[in-house]
Amino acid sequence: MNYRHTASFGKRIEYYIIGLMLKEGLDCYLPMVDDDGIDVVIRRNDNEFISVQIKARSKSVKNGNCALFAALTHQEIRNNYFFVFYSERLDTMWIMSSEEYLKECVTNKTGVNQGKTSICLSGKKNGQEYPLPRFDKYISANDFSRLKLN
């Protein structure tokens, strides 16, 4: 994989997922700068706003890491804040609130990413990667209903 592809993969997937959100009828607003981990702001059906961070893993990542989202700087609950995790190799998307993410993630205890959080949404058996069943409740088949209503 060349640098141009790896450097732009995350942004390409952000636009892809935002396009799916728009297609489903969500009102999406894109911040001018990428501050505070907010990739898109969505106006819900009740006219409240939520912030969403989109994280993606490409199909070219090391085998066994297709849904590993590591070294996130998210340590405390943020109201009206959601994550959309996407694994290109599994073609699977998970949606979690900030609170749900913090219940499911692990905090790195040592090393260069000490204090940051990580989550692995996939497993590997007999050489095949698969979404971990314990996270099935967060899987979204291009359905953003969790983001539409409070």
pLDDT on residue 141: 72
Judge residue 8's burial from the number of C-beta atoms within 10 Å of its C-beta, 0-12 exposed, 13-18 middle, 19 or more buried: exposed
Residue range 71-78: mean pLDDT, rounded: 92
pLDDT on residue 150: 56
Percent of the chain with pLDDT over 70: 94
Q: Please report, for the chain, the start and end positions of each structural domain, with discontinuous segments joined by +.
A: 3-148
Confidence of residue 126 (pLDDT cuts 50, 70, 90): very high
Percent of the chain with pLDDT over 90: 75
pLDDT on residue 134: 96
Q: Does domain 3-148 have CATH number 3.40.1350.10?
A: yes
Decide if 121 contacts 85 (C-beta within 8 A).
Answer: yes
pLDDT on residue 143: 83
List, in sequence order, the alpha helices (H) in the chain. Answer: 3-23, 98-104, 145-148
pLDDT of residue 3 exceeding 70, the answer is no
pLDDT digits (tens, 9 = 90+) for 20-69: 999 999 999 999 987 789 999 999 989 999 999 999 998 888 777 899 99
